[in-house]
């Protein structure tokens, strides 16, 4: 399927959608601490999204039962919030959130430290975030999609981490998941040409150990097979003829 190119009007709506999501993430980040449950995060997130007159796009997506994906430690993505899962000092927690504003989706993820964490865990979080920024150096019109994938892989590989292969980033717009798929590991093919007006959710998922993942019994929660910590960082990005515009980040 063709990759959609957004009009000026659509880009304005994507910008507003992203701005609201950014503010939701900022509040959720301030809320993270030892002693809260992963469901507390989901409830606050849903409340904030609705308070802006927006719709949580993850809720009921293919049956997903919550608004915010909350993934702790070896959980990679799509953790289901639970009132029984209490965050502990030393945990790392990935929050993946998205919303719909006037028909336009935004999607972003952050990984946070819960209280004091190990130096190794903090490095994983920081390097996962940095890999996104390494990738988007290539996110401009005229480049190929996989230039982004290759840059993320080149940066992460030096640390010996596992780049999750079973899940990828994606186009985004009037749907949460649009073409193209955006792998975070090196590709032989160049992928499609990037054009101004494309909007992409770029989302490296990085394991401290091996890249292999498996699904828990709930059929949602993706975990690192070797039990190692995993981090996730994502923004919705607008391709332009010059620098990309990160729609879910205040600059």
Residues that bind Co ion (CB under 5 A): 107, 201
Query: Residue 31: which H helix or E strand, with range?
Result: helix 8-31
| Shortest distance in whole angstroms from residue 102 CB to ligand MF3 | 20
The torsion of the CA quartet 36, 41, 47, 50, rounded to 10 degrees, works out to: 180
Nearer Cβ to ligand MF3, position 55 or 141?
Answer: 55
232 binds, among Co ion, ligand MF3, none (CB under 5 to 8 A by kind): none
Tracing tokens 């900022």 back to the chain, one arrives at: 26
Return the number of the residue (64 or 160) whose C-beta is nearest Co ion: 64
Chain CA centroid to CA 103, Å: 20
Size of the site for ligand MF3 (CB under 6 A): 11
Is the Cα torsion angle 225, 235, 145, 1 positive or negative in sign? positive
The string over 48-57, giving b where at least 16 C-beta atoms fall within 10 Å of a residue's C-beta and e elsewhere, is: bbeebebbbb
- The least distance separating ligand MF3 from the CB of residue 90, rounded to whole angstroms, comes to 25
Q: Strand order of the sheet with strand 162-163?
A: 162-163, 205-207, 230-232
Contact region for ligand MF3 (CB under 6 A) — 26-34, 59-67, 120-128, 186-194?
59-67
| Region from 3-11, 60-68, 149-157, 204-212 binding ligand MF3, contact rule CB under 6 A | 60-68
Q: What minimum distance in Å lies between the beta carbon of 36 and Co ion?
A: 24
61 forms part of the interface with ligand MF3 (CB under 6 A): yes
Based on the shown chain and the rule CB under 6 A, indicate whether residue 110 belongs to the binding site for ligand MF3.
Answer: no
How deeply is 4 buried, as exposed, middle or buried, from its count of CB atoms within 10 A (0-12, 13-18, 19+)?
Answer: middle
Q: Mask of contacts with ligand MF3, 163-182, x by CB under 6 A?
A: -------x------------
> Exactly one of 40, 107, 147, 245 binds ligand MF3 (CB under 6 A); which one?
107
How buried is residue 196: exposed, middle or buried, by Cβ count under 10 Å (0-12/13-18/19+)? middle
69 binds, among ligand MF3, Co ion, none (CB under 5 to 8 A by kind): ligand MF3
Binding of ligand MF3 by 133 (CB under 6 A) = no
Q: How far is residue 39's CA from residue 45's CA, in Å, rounded to a whole number? A: 10
Structure tokens at 1: 């399927």
Q: Would you give the binding string for ligand MF3 spanning residues 7-46, x where CB under 6 A is met?
A: ----------------------------------------
Nearer to ligand MF3, 97 or 151 (CB): 97
With the C-alpha atoms ordered 114, 155, 226, 64, is the resulting torsion angle positive or negative?
positive
Under the rule (CB under 6 A), what is the footprint of ligand MF3? 58, 61-62, 64, 69, 78, 96, 98, 107, 170, 201
């Amino acid at each position: 399927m063709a990759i959609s190119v957004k009009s000026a009007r659509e880009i304005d709506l994507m910008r507003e959608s992203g701005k609201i999501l950014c503010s939701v993430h900022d509040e959720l980040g301030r809320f993270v601490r030892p002693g809260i449950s992963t469901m507390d995060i989901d409830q606050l997130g849903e409340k904030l999204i609705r308070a802006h007159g927006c719709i949580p796009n993850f809720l009921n997506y293919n049956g997903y039962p919550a608004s915010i994906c909350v993934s702790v430690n070896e959980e990679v993505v799509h953790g289901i919030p639970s009132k029984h899962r209490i965050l502990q000092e030393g945990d790392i927690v990935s929050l993946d959130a998205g919303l719909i504003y006037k028909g336009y989706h935004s999607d972003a993820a952050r990984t946070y430290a819960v209280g004091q964490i190990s130096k190794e865990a903090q490095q994983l979080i920081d390097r996962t975030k940095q890999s996104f920024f390494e990738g988007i150096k290539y996110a401009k019109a005229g480049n190929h999609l996989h230039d982004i994938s290759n840059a993320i892989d080149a940066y992460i590989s030096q640390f010996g981490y596992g780049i999750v292969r079973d899940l990828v980033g994606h186009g985004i717009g009037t749907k949460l998941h649009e073409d193209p798929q955006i792998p975070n590991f090196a590709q032989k093919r160049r992928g499609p040409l990037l054009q101004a007006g494309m909007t992409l959710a770029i989302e490296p998922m990085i394991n401290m150990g091996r890249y292999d993942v498996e699904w828990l019994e709930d059929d949602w929660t993706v975990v690192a097979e070797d039990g190692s910590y995993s981090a996730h960082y994502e923004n919705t990005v607008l391709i332009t003829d010059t620098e990309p515009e990160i729609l879910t980040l205040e600059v």
